[in-house]
Structure 1
Amino acid sequence: MDTGERYFGDYAVESVAGRGGSATVYRAHHLSTPDRPVALKVLDDHHRDPAHLTRLRREFDFARRAAGPHVVTMYECGPDWLAMQYVAGGTVTVLTSRTDRLLALAQIAGALDRAHALGIVHCDVKPTNILVCEDFWDGGAVLTDFGIARAVTDQTDHRPAHVEASLPYVAPEVLRGQPPSPASDEYALACTVVELLTGAPPFTATTSMALVSAHLNRRVPQYSHRIEWIPRAFDSILAKAMAKTPELRYQSCSEFLALVARAIR
């Protein structure tokens, strides 16, 4: 069937915008507003089991609760699909200037702080979950994919059997089986900052086990020794944001980003 002939609720599919592990995201529109594109996330046929349906609903609920100018706007939740804001500019990696990337990161830090104040931990902060509007200076950056987000009040009873987040960005305490916290999002944001400023996350490895070991045991890299424009102050700021013990990190993501921006401008 041609994608233009597919409908989910009152939404008509226009084209495929992206594919993930369990769902396809389409560019679509509501039948009453054909000129306003929306993103339609639809679970694949073989992922419409209770676990994935629950995760989809949680994604909708958490993003709605954390609503703000730099959080993806949710419109409607169907039986196996979500209708949300269509962000046309791509991921944050399309921004070419350091200034723009730092601005985008500061906006996401603010969005995370707002979510944390509401008792929500995103749990999957990484470059691919940060989208930018086509006119970046008008719409800025948008935090997406609350699919594995958690409520702080639920953490004591939640012990996942495996790590759901992306390994290059996972905080040590989460790898040890502890519940994720706002400090865990800060650690992931710090890894994202490093990747967007230097081209690679702080720790890389050829196997998952080696990457886990790096987060748990290796010292935070020092970049001022290898990248000319990075000052020594950045190393100490990063070391605190990526402290192995979450209590030693900054009190907020915005505090961390403000220090980074001040250090490298």
Structure 2
Amino acid sequence: MGLVVKARLGHGGSSEVYLAEDPERSRLVSLKILGPDDSRSPEARARFVHEFDILSALRHPNIVRMYTHGETDGRLWSAREYVAGATGLRLVRMPRQNPDLRRVLSVLTHVAAGLDFAHTNGVVHLDVKPANVLVGADEPATVKISDFDQARWLHRPEPPLATNGFVVVSVPYAAPELLQAGTVSPATDQYALACSAIELLTGRTPFPRANLMATAEAQLHDPPPEISERQHWIPSEVDAILHRSLAKDPSARYDSCTEPIRLLAEALHDIVPRPFAPLLHRLKVAFTRHVSP
């Protein structure tokens, strides 16, 4: 392998992640090692290599970079870019706490840019959520989309989304077409990005329900929430923007991920997260118009 393991960063259901050093290139990497059972599974091995192939084809400042992969002692591994910091989950505040609005909008802007680049290159992520965004501790923060293990090529043969009648999704962020194992598109990622934006702004996903089944039903059938009622400092213009991104019909959404995030940033410009911020903003606009020649 040629890598020197420095520390354990975390683990998931099928893999472990370590901080490692690549002495030949004098850089730190994130080393993902597939578990022994999955390393013996043809399906899991195929998914692991599939993620490597997709990430190797994408070179963008806001997409984590894949370096190399291999197999040691019967276990598959891959080395990718290491981002010193935390996942976007740390940006999620409790519902009664106010977000760092400048940072949230910056992260969303960078994620949208990375997603649009992936879409232009024929890839949909299909698991966009704060937990799959790396936000560095530097300033301005490095922002990288990670975890492309559910990603798919748009214009190449791919296996069906559903396996044994089930589709693997992160339900709180899943678009209706993804939940129904239908045709996915860049609009599917846009829906998930809007769900993530709502969580980062309010501390809750669009449809916080008692269980995943109820959440899935809400994604399929319930109208999007009015988040200006959750947080009174959010102007009503934000509701309209997010409602379009959360349209049940993918064709009714925006043409890119960048467009709704740009509109969000404009709507939240000069807003300070406090209860009467929208009212103060409207008074400021009215006063400016009144005194302008």
SS of the equivalent of 1:220 reads: coil
Asked if the contact 1:156/1:179 (under 8 Å) is kept, the reply is: no
- State the Cα distance separating 1:19 from its structure 2 match: 0.6
Q: Which amino acid letter does the alignment assign opposite residue 120 of structure 2?
A: A
Q: Which amino acid letter does the alignment assign opposite residue 149 of structure 1?
A: A
- State the Cα distance separating 1:62 from its structure 2 match: 1.0
Asked if the contact 2:58/2:65 (under 8 Å) is kept, the reply is: no
Matches within 5 A, 1:54-203: 54-79=46-71, 80-95=76-91, 97-137=100-140, 140-154=142-156, 158-161=160-163, 162-203=166-207
Which of 257, 262, 265 in structure 1 is aligned with 2:261?
257
Asked if the contact 2:133/2:146 (under 8 Å) is kept, the reply is: yes
Q: Which amino acid letter does the alignment assign opposite residue 113 of structure 2?
A: G
- The residue aligned with 1:43 is 34
Asked if the contact 1:220/1:239 (under 8 Å) is kept, the reply is: yes
1:30 aligns with 2:22: yes
SS of the equivalent of 2:45 reads: helix
Q: Which amino acid letter does the alignment assign opposite residue 13 of structure 1?
A: V
Distance 1:214 1:92 in 2: 24
Of 231-240 and 170-179, deviating more is 170-179
1:182–1:142: structure 2 CA closer, same or farther, 3 Å change rule?
Answer: same
- State the Cα distance separating 1:179 from its structure 2 match: 2.6
Asked if the contact 1:155/1:179 (under 8 Å) is kept, the reply is: no
1:251–1:155: structure 2 CA closer, same or farther, 3 Å change rule?
Answer: farther
Query: What's the TM-score once normalised by structure 1's chain length?
Result: 0.92
1:155–1:228: structure 2 CA closer, same or farther, 3 Å change rule?
Answer: farther
Distance 1:113 1:221 in 2: 25
- State the Cα distance separating 1:155 from its structure 2 match: 6.5
Let me know the Cα RMSD of the aligned residues.
Answer: 1.5
Residues 11-51 of structure 1, C-alpha deviation per residue, up to 9 Å, x if partnerless? Answer: 12111001111100000012324x52110000011211111
- The residue aligned with 2:216 is 212
Query: What's the TM-score once normalised by structure 2's chain length?
Result: 0.83
Asked if the contact 2:169/2:179 (under 8 Å) is kept, the reply is: no
Of 61-70 and 104-113, deviating more is 61-70
- State the Cα distance separating 1:54 from its structure 2 match: 1.1
1:218–1:37: structure 2 CA closer, same or farther, 3 Å change rule?
Answer: same
Distance 2:104 2:239 in 1: 19
- State the Cα distance separating 1:157 from its structure 2 match: 5.8
1:225 aligns with 2:229: yes
Distance 1:156 1:31 in 2: 37
1:166–1:136: structure 2 CA closer, same or farther, 3 Å change rule?
Answer: farther
Distance 1:187 1:14 in 2: 37
Q: Which amino acid letter does the alignment assign opposite residue 78 of structure 1?
A: G
Q: Which has the larger radius of gyration?
A: 2
Distance 1:225 1:199 in 2: 13
SS of the equivalent of 1:83 reads: strand
- State the Cα distance separating 1:110 from its structure 2 match: 0.5
Distance 1:233 1:105 in 2: 17
Residues 93-116 of structure 1, C-alpha deviation per residue, up to 9 Å, x if partnerless? Answer: 435621111101100100000100
Which stretches in structure 1 are left out of the alignment for 5+ residues? 1-8
SS of the equivalent of 2:228 reads: coil
- The residue aligned with 1:238 is 242
Which stretches in structure 2 are left out of the alignment for 5+ residues? 92-98, 270-293
Distance 2:156 2:176 in 1: 20
Distance 1:58 1:250 in 2: 29
